[in-house]
Amino acid sequence: MLSPLRFEPAFSQPALPGVSAGVIRYAAGEEIFAEGDAADQVYELVEGTVRTGRLLRDGRRQIDAFHFAGEAFGFEAGDIHRTTAEAVGDVAVRIVRRRALSDLAARDGDVARKLYQVTIAGLQRSQDHVLMLGRRSACERVAGLLLLLADRKGEAAFDLPMSRQDMADYLGLTIETVSRTLTAFLQEGLIALPTVRHVELLDRPALEALCE
């Protein structure tokens, strides 16, 4: 799933009085919270990109989602974070005390409804991710990620905020396979790669066809 939780009306730009506990900046690669940490805060991404994911003991990593500006992350059913969140590039997040948010939701039905909508949207993204990982080939997965990123930016040309390793860990592949797939797309004229971190989608219909 890419970018699970988007907050718009209630607690976006002018953070609701009382629920925000301030903005914090993180440098590229820094950990925002880790698997096992107390989950007493949620986060609203003001600027930058965040990845949330999990690590197996032997070092295998799976990224659950990339989060972009305007989205919220860090929600948990229990009181412990089950995932780790790290800054992809530099990042600014607004911290929201979970307690304050749940109190607000108890008082304000609109907030509660929004919270529910945001969660169920995250669930649907996760289901898309499951389909991608369970039944799609490497080509289809990479194409899917490029389209997802393009849709998010609203542009056919965009910067890749994340490394090849991040892409691989989101897609359940290796960096080598991601790299090879991108150069294959390049050679087929489906994309341009002026720099390693900038993509242009040249043949969107063909990429979409790859995703079924």
Q: Give yes or no for residue 174 binding DNA (CB under 7 A).
A: yes
92: β partners? 25, 47
Q: Which residues in 71-130 contact a copy of itself (CB under 8 A)?
A: 75-77, 82-83, 105-106, 109, 112-113, 115-117, 119-124, 126-127, 129-130
- Among DNA, a copy of itself, none, the one that 197 touches (CB under a kind-dependent 5 to 8 A) is DNA
Q: Which is nearer to a copy of itself, 13 or 127 (CB)?
A: 127
Find the DSSP H helices in the chain. Answer: 98-107, 109-135, 138-153, 164-171, 175-187, 204-210
Report the alpha-carbon distance of residue 156 to residue 166 in Å, rounded: 21
Binding track over 137-176 against a copy of itself, x by CB under 8 A: --------------------------------x-xx----
Among residues 14, 59, 107, 195, the one that binds DNA under rule CB under 7 A: 195
Contact criterion met (CB below 8 Å) for 125 and 3: yes
Closest by CA position to 122, among listed 157, 82, 71 = 71
Q: CA geometry: angle at 81 spanning 53 and 84, to 5°?
A: 30
Which residues lie near DNA (CB under 7 A)? Answer: 137-139, 163-165, 172-180, 182-183, 193, 195-197
